[in-house]
Structure 1
Amino acid sequence: MNLYPLSVALLFLCFLTAAGESPTHFTGEVSINCGSSGTSAALDGREWLGDVKPKFSSMLQIKGSSSTTATAIHKFIYAAAVPHRTARISRSKFSYEFQVSPGQKVIRLYFHPTLYKGFKGFQDLFTVESGPFTLLSNFSASLTAHALGMNSFVKEFCLNVQENGRLSIGFSPSSLDAYAFINGIEIISVPASLSYFQGGDIGVQVVGHKSPVYLEYNTALEVIHRMSIKQSSVRSAGDFDGIFPMWATRRAKKDKSSTWKIPVDMGFRYLIRLHFSELGLKIAETDDVIFKVLINEMVADTNIDIVKERNDDNIPWYRDYMLLMRGNKKEGKRHLLISLQSYDELIDGHGLLAGFEIFKLSNPDNSLASPNPFPPSQDSPSLLWVLGHRNAIATVAITIIALVNIIVHKSRETWEASRTEEENKPSARAERQCRRFSFAEIQLATENFSDALLIGKGGFGRVYKGLIDKGQNIVAVKRLKLSSSQGSHEFLTEIEMLSQLRHVNLVSLIGYCNEHGEMILVYDYMACGTLADHLYKLQRESSNCCSLTWKQRLDICIGAGRGLDYLHTGHGIIHRDVKASNILLDENFVAKVSDFGLAKPEDGRKLKSYVSTKVKGTFGYLDPYYFNTQKLTRKSDTYAFGVVLLEVLCGRPAVVSRVAENEHILSKWALDYIRKGEVDQIIASNLRDEISSDSLKTFVGVAERCLCHEPKNRPTMSQVVLQLESALEQQENKEQLESALEQQENKELVALNETTGAFDDSCHCNDEINLLAVNKGKLKIASSDEQHQTNSKVVNSELLSGRKDGRRATILKPLRLWPRDGFWNRVKPSKKNKLSSYGVLEIVTIAKTCEEISAADIKLAKFDWNKIAAATNNFSYSNQVGEGGFGPVYKAALPKGQVVAVKSLSPSSVKGLKEFKNEILLVQNLRHQNIIKLLGYCFHKQEKFLVYEFMENGSLMENLLVVSALQNHNGDCSRTCLSTSRFTAETNSQRSENQQYFSGFSDES
């Protein structure tokens, strides 16, 4: 039997099977005909895939169960029905997810606004998002089409897709009476030769500035205008019409005008790409002809500059420019002018260019959204009243007067409601970060503000427990009274503040409602109520209520203090209404500072430490200095927090009316006893047997300092938190010691007063070492080991028998080893990493685990020493720009023209190899506008180098030495200090026990 034909057939079938397998992702172009099934062909021959039961379901997913498909009711009067005949449409959010190849993608969104079956009476108003970018916001396709004078139109965007990433496009209706729709989606890969993010070391030239800007991949672009200028004698440069079929092909006019006007939105940056024709490039090389490229009447380029940057290997078919259109986007559109100017009458500007493109760049909020066009004006129809009888005239007159009164009254109500809603409208940034609830949603969540769901009330209004998102999430709904002292200003202040603040000890704002003149705020629900509830309110209502333990109270105070410290140091915000009822507790009794209606930001442009403002706050918590001078400072919050500390200790409110006159004000009454040394007289009865004497002493001390009359004598909130943590630690040590003594009644413990222990360099990795920890003593461990210690783990942490000779004793808590040198500060130990301070001699057996820092851990570029030497003119003194204890700093120009700073570490520097590597590991992962960027490093024999970005203005100290600069620009100096302090505050305000702190700051850093 001959098997050869059978083998050939099997091989052919295998080939067909392999060829028929679909790719793992879309490559090239993707065309989706939304709302249709199967494959449709357009007039240009392209195939459009339907999204109803798509063929490539693994590469295209549609999310949003309530989205549907619809067909236009009106009959089409033009031929290009695909993709405009059908649409995917919904009154709730839906999205597409595409599995596409990585790289730059052009996204085209096709819209045909018309009547769709089932959506009559609703308006098209929606937001389109892709990943972190907002492409369109509160967008009306019908208004846009009317403004363009077209039945259908296309919105085109460009963004970058990461490796193994999915491209998502989401559509969200803006209100309950609105819907979102899309007719077609196209995704096109951008060729590398036309990349919009190509800047390299050259960057994009900014019109009117010398410094280039680097367009990074985390920017989204919107195509505002494309024009291909066709000339019969000029070939299109780069043949870009063949790549992008959506280009607007327009023949140049025959006049000599070479200026184009394109309307653009204000408040955005724009990328302008000019494509030069072959004729234009030849003219640029001619010495006799000079032409200029002007953008908004500023010279962007000349043919001389173009020739300088040309070479045979890389002909610049196009040039990119960047322009900032300053102004508020609410001002509407203004013209962007592009013109070519030549002194040779024979040169026609149209012949120099093959075309140009204009792109809008996303703003810092990752948004490309712009306002909708104004709706079309409608002429009011005139009515002809024909009256045949005299009685009819009187009747009609009375009817008209009554109707006018009704209309005026209703119009006034509507106008007042809309004015209130507009006045209570937060900023665009807050709107993006907070959810806007309709009044109907709030009514549904609270069962129309049922009293059964009421959880709090006060002069500001009422707070209700509510359920949103179909009962999935519990929230707190705060409805402000219209007559409340907290008016629209405080309402907006709270939205603006909480929308930009994120901290574990600050309450989170979910959203707001400002419809129908209402002022409603929606927060995360705090299951355990307020601190005031647990200190005195619940105990008055029920004698069976469990009181907070002293440790719980300390934890709550520490959390609230951290929240206030974050406000002060991280954002320069003064709360102005700190009190026990504004400290909320979640289900784990974690403190959350709330109610930011009276919060006041400091003026960062001024050097004053106070804000002059009217006195506002709560009686009993008001800072006397603020009350008398109307000067609000951070220390005003410190004073109010001191009153809260007394409430925690005494278990009574700040103001009590039904007591003796000298006991009305808590702060005055308690301070009198404290200064007389009779603190035990003010402690809540349920705490007297629980508090340790050391913890009480520390707590009372910090409360007394907070209540100092002069603000300068009060501690900062960070200092308050440190003292409270110390009080908590003292309380825990007392409880653990008592527990240890109960379990080890037959064991001996030896008490010491003060001792100093020290270890030498014999401490090595993977060896067991005995550490001597002493009460109030100093533990010092020196090591010359070149390895990086990452952790110290307690092996034996059980309570052991003690001996009088001190060879072995108990350990009550784990211990950590802290590195310390000229670069790092010692990391502050947390309460879990300290030993007892009760005079117990302790010996701990610890195993050290270390690891060598390898080159794999360093992600930065390693520079060649020869290039570094050449760039610094062999470390010439003329290139030296600074010097410190670590060694000199040189200015260097790399081969590609990039200017950098090279920091050379001298052999005598205090920084060894370990510290050098530590600095690289730390700084390479930091990204902050106030931190200098580390570019790379270099080793050469015993020499070590760090390569940083170059700071042209030098150090702060150099600028301060110039007296005239200090006198004329002290505002710049204050801003420099503010930026430095802001970075330090943001780094330390949310620290964990494993994070390091920066030390050694100086005016040369």
Structure 2
Amino acid sequence: MYLSTTLIFLVTVLDILVYYLQKLQEQDNGEQKISASSSSLDIRSMHEEDDGERKDPSLSSSSLYKQCQVFSLAEIKLATNDFDDAFVIGKGGFGQVYKGQIDFEARTDVAIKRLDCNSNQGETEFRAEIEMLSKIRHSHIVSLLGYCETDMILVYEYMPNGSLEDHLHKKRTNGSTSSPLTWVQRLNICIGAARGLDYLHTGTGIQHRVIHRDVKSSNILLDENWAGKIADFGLSRTTPASHAGSTTNVYTGQIVSTFGYMDAEYFATHRLTRKSDVYAFGVVLLEVLCGRPALDFTLDEEQHSLAGWGKHCIKRGNISRIVDPCLRGQVSVKCLKKFGQIAYECLRSCSKERPTMTVVLARLELVLTWTMQSAQRASNWKNIACSLFLTKTPRRVISDQKKDGCDSGGVATASQQAVLHYEGTTTLNLKDFTYSELQTVTCNFHHRRVIGEGGFGKVFKGWLDRVTYTPQKAGDGIPVAIKKLSPESMQGLLELQSLALTYFVETTY
């Protein structure tokens, strides 16, 4: 009896084992069929991040890769002349970047980034870039056109004007002291980059948001129209969109960022938020304003960090101390203060006190509006400021014992003007003076003709014919005062406009 019971138990266990083995075999066969029917171009789903956390599953579908073209290694070699060094246009943490041509419908310039075997980055960053940019399409984010998995190569749209860093800092190594970027160009580049970041933070979909995690001037590229675009998503992270506002937290086991742009709060807590990108963007704003890199150890110790030095100067109202000399005369005081305030708020120590990229974008667009309005007003008043000439009955003619010879040549600009001394009944006549005429009147702006100096610049005395207003010798004709804008002056066309209005009002009463 005991023996038979034991045999029955063993047979039952054996049957159960056979059943489960058959089920497992069926599952294996099914998976092999699915695998065989799937495209050989599909690559594996979302990778594990450095902290072991997996990104948003909505981004892991292999269908994302089908939005990018898959290139063979032979095609890439053909485009770069077998990775000829002559085709290299840059190098980053991932590897060298080559300029090449790919035959889509027509020969198209592209940027080809190839993983360096000695790079600290690798397959993780390669797949992160593909997974992120396969889903994202935005006018201020560099587009990924395709990839080659064989040699871990990424193919992007070509950005002919390089990076923002190139134009702000590499000029120093070439011995040049000026940047080709004007204030308006710099503003537009910042606005473009801000639009790209704002899209990543708020507009990438209903299921996820993106934290770039490596915002810096070298990752802001410039297209043929000098528009700024965000690039390099190898370190980016996604966060669930269900987390309201900008306080979404991602805890990372490894701190990854670039020194000089790193959010101290993220470094201390490992808590990554979208405000970490805002901090880094604040450093970029200071780079744009100051024309110096985020870290510069050739300067005094207190100036090594641009973020720390910039905040110090802005807080104490000394923002003019850090402005790039190349921008002198291009930025109004109002715009300068507002721009500095935006950068300062982005760099606040507490992430909750920093603005969102939506707010930063709106404020930058306001600064651009003010800048364009100032330029328009200056343009409207330029002719009046240049040709301001008020004729009056002279109060007295002041003789001058000095009668010097004078030079001529050139055309008058808005920084020179002639105003008559007057009293009595007024008639308003405006004359457009050439620079040559003003040189003659002032003996080429000779120091002996200086009768005053203010914040605008020096004031020179001269004489003009009573009828023709042509230059005369000292003591002959009508005495005039000519004010010339000093290159070092913080004033400019707006002050000329104000002066013109003042004289006009005085002569109408």
TM over 0.5, yes or no? yes
Partner of 2:304: 664
How far is 1:468 from its partner? 1.0
1:598 to 235, 240, 264: 235
- Deviation of 1:530 (Å): 0.2
Residue 500 of structure 1: SS of its match in structure 2? coil
Q: 1:533 aligns with which of 166, 169, 178?
A: 166
Residue 617 in structure 1 maps to residue 252 in structure 2: no
Structure 1: gaps spanning 5 or more residues: 1-326, 334-369, 375-417, 749-835, 840-1005
Change (3 A) 1:666 1:592: same
Q: SS where residue 214 of structure 2 aligns?
A: coil
**Structure 2 equivalent of residue 453 of structure 1:** 87
Root-mean-square deviation (Å): 3.1
- Asked whether 1:716 is paired with 2:356, we answer yes
Q: Which one of the candidate residues 466, 470, 475 is aligned to 2:100?
A: 466
What does 1:488-567 correspond to in 2, within 5 Å? 488-515=123-150, 518-541=151-174, 543=176, 546-567=179-200
Over 3 Å counting, the alpha-carbon distance change for 1:462 and 1:424 in structure 2 is: farther
Give the residue type in structure 2 aligned to 1:724.
Answer: L
Instruction: Report the number of matched residues.
Output: 345
Among 121, 125, 132, the alignment partner of 1:486 is 121
On the 8 A contact 2:168/2:179 being kept in 1, the answer is no
**For the Cα contact (< 8 Å) 1:433–1:499, is it kept in 2?**
yes
Which deviations, in whole Å up to 9, do the C-alpha atoms of 1:166-224 show, x marking residues without a partner?
A: xxxxxxxxxxxxxxxxxxxxxxxxxxxxxxxxxxxxxxxxxxxxxxxxxxxxxxxxxxx
> Partners of 1:546 and 1:637 in 2: how far apart?
26
C-alpha distance in 2, partners of 1:735/1:605? 44
- 1:805-851, Cα deviation, whole Å (9 max, x unpaired): xxxxxxxxxxxxxxxxxxxxxxxxxxxxxxx9x99xxxxxxxxxxxx
Amino acid at match of 1:577: D
Give 2:275's aligned amino acid: K
Offset, 1:373: 5.3
Aligned to 2:295: 655
One-letter amino acid of the structure 1 residue matched with residue 215 of structure 2: V
Match of 1:101 in 2: none
Shift of 1:545: 6.8
Secondary structure of the residue aligned to 2:162 is: coil
Letter in 1 for 2:342: V
Cα separation, partners in 2 of 1:606 and 1:697, compared to 1, 3 Å: closer
Q: In the alignment, is residue 699 of structure 1 matched against residue 339 of structure 2?
A: yes
TM-superposed CA distance for 1:661, in Å, is 1.6
Contact 1:424 1:514 in 2 (8 A): no
Cα distance in structure 2, aligned partners of 1:675 and 1:531: 26
For the residues of structure 2 that align with 1:373 and 1:688, how far apart are their CA atoms? 65
The counterpart of 1:476, out of the listed 108, 111, 132, is 111
Question: Residues 46 and 131 of structure 2 are in contact (CA less than 8 Å); yes or no, is this contact kept in structure 1?
Answer: no
Change in Cα spacing, 1:522 to 1:744, as seen in structure 2 (3 Å) is: same
Partner of 1:934: none
Give, in whole Å, the separation in 2 of the partners of 1:604 and 1:503: 19
Q: Quick one: structure 1 residues 660 and 521, their matched pair in 2 at CA, closer, same or farther if it must change by over 3 Å? A: same
Deviation at 1:606, TM superposition (A): 5.5
Q: Which of 31, 35, 46 is the equivalent residue of 1:331?
A: 31
Q: In structure 1, what is the equivalent of residue 375 of structure 2?
A: 735
Three-state SS of the structure 2 residue aligned to 1:464 is strand
3-state SS of 1:654 partner: coil
* SS at 2:91 equivalent: strand
Q: 1:577 aligns with which of 214, 219, 228?
A: 214
Cα deviation for residue 579 of structure 1 reads 0.2
The 1:544–1:678 alpha-carbon spacing in structure 2 relative to 1, beyond 3 Å, is closer
Asked if 2 retains the 8 angstrom alpha-carbon contact of 1:694 and 1:731, the reply is no
- 1:689: how far off? 1.6
Say if 1:563 and 1:593, in contact at 8 Å, map to a contact too.
yes
For the 8 Å contact 1:651–1:684, the answer to whether it is kept is yes
Q: 1-side partners of 2:297 and 2:177: how far apart?
A: 25
Deviations 1:720-778 (A, max 9, x none): 01111111111111111111111234799xxxxxxxxxxxxxxxxxxxxxxxxxxxxxx
**AA of the residue aligned to 2:164:** L
Residues 732 and 490 (structure 1 numbering): CA distance in 2 closer, same or farther, change over 3 Å? same
Deviation of 1:485 (Å): 2.0
Question: Would you say the 8 A contact 2:179–2:326 is kept in 1?
Answer: no
| C-alpha separation in 1, matches of 2:46 and 2:261 | 29
Change in 2 beyond 3 A, CA 1:586/1:332: same
Q: Give the C-alpha shift of residue 330 in structure 1.
A: 7.8
1-structure distance, mates of 2:178, 2:75: 35
The yes-or-no answer on 1:637 pairing with 2:311 is no
Deviation at 1:432, TM superposition (A): 1.0
d(CA) in 2 for partners of 1:460, 1:428: 23
Aligned CA distance change for structure 1 residues 742 and 522 (closer, same or farther; 3 Å): same
Cα 1:590–1:457, aligned 2, differ >3 Å: closer, same or farther?
same
Q: Secondary structure at the match of 1:744?
A: helix
Structure 1 residue identity aligned to 2:251: S
| Contact in 2 for aligned 1:424/1:491 (Cα 8 Å) | no
Q: Which runs of 5+ in 2 are unaligned?
A: 1-26, 48-59, 390-493, 499-509
Q: Which amino acid is 1:533 matched to?
A: D
1:141-180 correspondence to structure 2 within 5 Å: none
User: C-alpha distance in 2, partners of 1:330/1:699?
Assistant: 61
Check if 1:441 corresponds to 2:81: no
- CA positional deviation for 1:695: 0.9
| Alpha-carbon distance between aligned partners in 1 of 2:278 and 2:113, rounded to the nearest angstrom | 27
Structure 1 pair 672–484 and aligned structure 2 pair: CA distance change class (3 A): same
Match of 2:368, SS state, is helix
Deviations 1:775-802 (A, max 9, x none): xxxxxxxxxxxxxxxxxxxxxxxxxxxx
Could you tell me which residue of structure 2 aligns to residue 756 of structure 1? none
Closer/same/farther in 2, CA of residues 448 and 664 from structure 1, 3 Å limit: same
The residue type equivalent to 2:132 in the other structure is M
- Which structure shows the bigger proportion of residues in helix conformation? 2
Looking at structure 2, the residues matched to 632 and 490 of structure 1 have their Cα atoms a distance apart, in angstroms, of 18
Structure 1 position 430 matched with structure 2 position 64? yes
Aligned letter for 1:524?
A: E
Deviation at 1:506, TM superposition (A): 0.3
TM-score w.r.t. length of structure 2: 0.63
User: Tell me, what secondary structure is at the counterpart of 1:430?
Assistant: helix
Q: Which residue identity does 2:174 align to in structure 1?
A: E
Structure 1 residues 677, 438: CA separation in 2 closer, same or farther (over 3 Å shift)? same
- d(CA) in 2 for partners of 1:500 and 1:329? 32
Partners of 1:627 and 1:330 lie apart in 2 by: 47
Cα distance in 1, alignment partners of residues 182 and 172 from structure 2: 14
**In 1, distance between residues paired with 2:202 and 2:30?**
34
SS at match of 1:505: coil
SS at match of 2:267: helix
Which among 318, 321, 336 is matched to residue 678 of structure 1?
Answer: 318
> How many Å apart are 1:542 and its aligned residue?
5.2
Change (3 A) 1:473 1:700: same
